Amino acid sequence: MRALLWFKQDLRLDDHPALQAGLSAECLLPVYVLDPAQLQASAFGSRRMGVHRARFLLETLAALDGELRQRGSHLLVVQGVAEQLIPQLVAQFQLQQVLTLEEIAPDERAQVARVARRLGAVPLQQAPANNLLRVEELPFNLEQLPHVFSSFRALVEERLQVFQPRHAPERLPALPEGVEAVLQAIPSLSQLGLGEPLSVPASAFPFAGGEPAALGRLRDYLWKTQGVRQYKETRNGLIGTEYSSKFSPWLANGSLSPRRVVAELRRHEAQFKRNDSTYWLWLELLWRDFFRWSLLRHGSALFKAGGLQATISASQQIDQRFQDWCRGCTGMPLVDANMRELAATGFISNRGRQVVASYLINDLQQDWRYGAAWFEEHLIDYDPASNWGNWAYLAGAKRAFNVLRQAREYDPDASYVSLWLPELRDVPQALRHTPFLLGGGQLHNLGYPQLESIPESWRPYLNHVA
Q: Which amino acid is at 60?
A: T
Closest by CA position to 280, among listed 291, 265, 292, 290 = 265
To ligand FAD, the closest distance from the beta carbon of 246 in angstroms equals: 4
Q: With binding defined as CB under 6 A, does residue 353 bind ligand FAD?
A: yes
- Residue 222 interacts with ligand FAD (CB under 6 A)? no
Nearest distance in Å: CB 348, ligand FAD = 8
The answer to whether the beta carbons of residues 288 and 131 sit under 8 Å apart is no
Say whether residue 362 binds ligand FAD (CB under 6 A): no
Please name which of 111, 130, 118, 92 lies closest in space to residue 4, comparing C-alpha atoms.
92
Binding mask 369-388 for ligand FAD (x = CB under 6 A): ------x---x-xxx--xx-
Between the two ends of the chain, the Cα-to-Cα distance in Å is: 68
CA–CA gap between residue 360 and residue 367 (Å, rounded) = 8
Residue 284 near ligand FAD by CB under 6 A:
yes
- According to the binding rule CB under 6 A, does residue 354 interact with ligand FAD? yes
Candidate residues 391, 420, 448, 458; the one interacting with ligand FAD per rule CB under 6 A: 391
Q: Which is nearer to ligand FAD, 400 or 431 (CB)?
A: 400
Size of the site for ligand FAD (CB under 6 A): 28
Interface stretch with ligand FAD, choices 82-90, 118-126, 282-290, 311-319 (CB under 6 A): 282-290
Residue numbers 246-275 binding ligand FAD by CB under 6 A: 246-248, 251-252
CB-nearer residue toward ligand FAD: 71 or 223: 223
In the complex with ligand FAD, the residue whose CB is nearer, 335 or 427, is 335
Q: Which one, 149 or 272, has the nearer CB to ligand FAD?
A: 149
Contact 336, 330 (CB under 8 A): yes
Smallest distance from ligand FAD to CB 210, Å: 16
One residue of 8, 260, 268, 288 binding ligand FAD per CB under 6 A? 288
Q: How many CB atoms lie within 10 A of CB 416?
A: 25
Looking at the Cβ atoms of 176 and 227, the one nearer to ligand FAD is: 227
In this complex, which beta carbon is closest to ligand FAD, that of residue 324 or of residue 376? 376
What is the rounded CA–CA span in Å between residue 433 and residue 452?
Answer: 15
φ/ψ of 463, rounded to 5, equals: -105, 20
Q: Which is nearer to ligand FAD, 322 or 391 (CB)?
A: 391
- Check residue 415 and report its DSSP letter: H
Q: How far is the CB of 245 from ligand FAD (least distance, A)?
A: 3
Q: Which of 2, 118, 235, 321 binds ligand FAD (CB under 6 A)?
A: 235
Are 205 and 345 spatial neighbours (Cβ–Cβ below 8 Å)?
yes
| 359 interacts with ligand FAD by CB under 6 A | no
Give the residue with the Cβ less far from ligand FAD, 388 or 448: 388
Residues forming beta bridges with residue 33, ordered by sequence position: 78
Residue pair 47/125 in contact (Cβ under 8 Å)? The answer is no
Min CB(228)–ligand FAD separation in Å:
9
> Shortest gap between Cβ of 428 and ligand FAD (angstroms)?
31
Sheet holding 124-127, edge to edge: 76-79, 27-34, 2-7, 97-101, 124-127
Residues in Cβ contact with 205 at an 8 Å cutoff, skipping those fewer than 6 apart: 241, 246, 249, 345, 346, 347, 380
* DSSP string of 293-332, one letter each residue: HHHHHHGGGGGSTTTTTT-TT------HHHHHHHHT-SS-
Site for ligand FAD contains 44 (CB under 6 A): no
Show the DSSP H helices in 196-300 as ranges. Answer: 211-219, 231-234, 248-252, 258-272, 276-298
> Residue 166 gets which letter from DSSP?
P
Comparing CB distances to ligand FAD, the nearer of 245 and 366 is 245
Closer residue to ligand FAD (CB): 93 or 221: 221
How many CB atoms sit inside 10 A of residue 65's CB? 21
CB under 8 Å to 417, separation ≥6 — which residues?
333, 334, 336, 337, 407, 411, 424, 432, 433
Least spacing, CB of residue 310 vs ligand FAD, in Å: 19
Euclidean distance between CA atoms 132 and 283, whole angstroms? 12
**How far apart are CB 435 and ligand FAD at their closest, in Å?**
25
- Residue spans of alpha helices (H) in 71-173: 82-92, 106-119, 149-158
Q: How far is the CB of 53 from ligand FAD (least distance, A)?
A: 10
CB of 347 to ligand FAD, least distance (A): 8
131 vs 349 by CB, closer to ligand FAD:
349
Q: What whole-number distance in Å separates Cα of residue 399 and Cα of residue 393?
A: 11
Of the pair 55, 432, the CB lying nearest ligand FAD is at 55
- Which residues in this chain contact ligand FAD in the complex, by CB under 6 A? 235, 244-248, 251-252, 281, 284-285, 287-288, 291, 349-350, 353-354, 357, 375, 379, 381-383, 386-387, 390-391
